[in-house]
Chains A and B, each alone.
Chain A
Amino acid sequence: AAVRSRAEVDATLQTAKLNPAELLPAVHCLSFGPEAGGGECCLLQLEPGLCAELEAGRSLVIRGEKDEHAVVCSKDKTYDMKIADTSNMLLFVPGCKTPEELNADPASCNVIHSQIAGFSNNYWELRRCRPKLKKLRKLLMEEPYEGPDSQKDQTSTFSKYTTEDLLSLIQASEEEILHQLQVIDACKIEGYWRILDFDYEMKLLNHVTQLIDSESWPLSKVPLCACLEELGSLEPREMIEHILLSYGRKYVDDAGEVFFEMREDKICRAIAQMLLQNAVKFNLSEFEEVWQQSVPEGMRTRLDQLQGLALVDKSSRPETIFLLKVEDLPEDNQQRFNSLFGIREKWTEVDITPYIQDLCAEKQTVGALLTKYARSSMLNGVKVYNSRRPIS
């Protein structure tokens, strides 16, 4: 295409009856670049902070398989992507200067030939969302680690995942994924992330608690070295250390020795799971008795240790308790509520909170979730929540 000259620009101004004296001297002659119509360019609207990240040289990643809605991930956050249509035409122009820039640079070229790189009538909107981490547990539960003697590990048809594998499969940022791996007590074995098989995990825990008992160590001061020495012949040292890290808080004393303060709540909770998984439900008072007897000497069991793990049915006579793990429930908000209301028609806020807490978005409260997905009513003077719609 012919390149416009100053004379042509001036002629157009004259025809348009615009006074050059009222205009800045520089003009941009806009034309469509060679790739402009190709749809190769698109726009992504940036949430606060993302612009700064890009300018600092960090990258964003799109994650999602064909059956998943795509998300954009920065180093530590995850965003849903949604197409937004506009009735206007958006042209993207490189090298186009604003009036400020033109005024600031008196040497700016008189006739600037700008090529429009592309155009669109839509763009991608981003909205911060919860990382989609349920899949992480699902993948690692395909082959839980059963210990070094397990035959399963030898087979080649084994699904095993490295950090890179997880990054490409999970719709979450790297930091969110690494944090979740810590939360679920995953460990790296031979370069692959593994979750322990629960029975194996309890076996390891039992070794440790029995040793604590036989050595009469205080629960707040369990020595790492001695554990490794005494138990190293029974289990791999990495596993002993892993179980201590999972169920204790590591610290170093003044002499530089490593100790663990055992986590009473977590140990009691694990033992409860071990007991509850063997039956559909239990008589509550019988369970509480057995449970207290099963935990290490010096530990006290409390029902609130079981939030998000088990549910007490106060309406049955006698009262019962059954296993209900929040991590087994759907990840999607509506599906989660449908599932919960299918299990129990009416919930108190106290009972339902542990099962919806993880659904809260950045600044969202449990109350807000309940307002949106449930309907409240009074039952025997207590506020309860039930489904907004009939559950089929």
Chain B
Amino acid sequence: SLPHLSHSSGTGALAQWVLVELQGEVEPRQSGGLAGSLLGDLHYTCEGVPVLIVGHHILYGKVVQLEKPFAVLVKGGGAPQPSPAGPHGHYTVTALIKTKLLFKTRPKPIITHVPKKV
């Protein structure tokens, strides 16, 4: 039973995904895990600078073209692959990643409770 990394969709080009690189760890706000919860809003300035609003923070990043692209491997066979060498795989190449949004700057906190002058 040999892991094959094969093209997941027979219908043409491999999907292109994007990598978002953040400092630190991602933790769920509520108990119950991350699935389904919101991370934040991703904007771009007119100059193409990515801006990510996460919770009470603003992160500024940059678009980086990866010198070495990534393949995203997903466990499980996905659609059954016609494979000359026998069993279909435990990993499927689902997408390629050639671009990443790198957020390395310190997050700027959003100050929300500014008392209004009466």
Write the residues of chain A forming the contact surface with B, with a CB cutoff of 8 angstroms. Answer: 1, 4, 9, 12-13, 15-18, 22-24, 26-37, 40-48, 50-51, 54-55, 57-63, 72, 86-100, 102, 114, 116-119, 121, 123, 164, 167-168
Contact = CB atoms under 8 A, between A and B. Distances in A.
Interface of B: 2-7, 13-15, 17-26, 33-46, 48, 50-53, 58, 63, 68-76, 81, 85-86, 91, 93-101, 110, 112
B41 A29 contact: yes
A96 B18 contact: yes
A111 B41 CA distance: 10
Contacts, number: 206
A89 B26 contact: yes
A93 to B, nearest CB: 5
Contacts of A33: 35-36
B22 A98 contact: no
A89 B24 contact: yes
A15 B55 CA distance: 11
Contact of B42 (A16, A28, A35, A54): A28
Given A16-B53, A45-B70, A59 B19 contact: no
Most buried by A among B6, B7, B58, B72: B72
Contacts of B98: 51
Nearest to B112: A15
B87 to A, nearest CB: 9
A102 B52 CA distance: 16
A116 B95 contact: no
Contact of B110 (A16, A32, A44): A16
Nearest to B17: A94
Given A30-B38, A98-B99, A168-B2, 7 more contacts: A9-B41, A24-B45, A29-B38, A29-B42, A60-B6, A97-B18, A99-B50
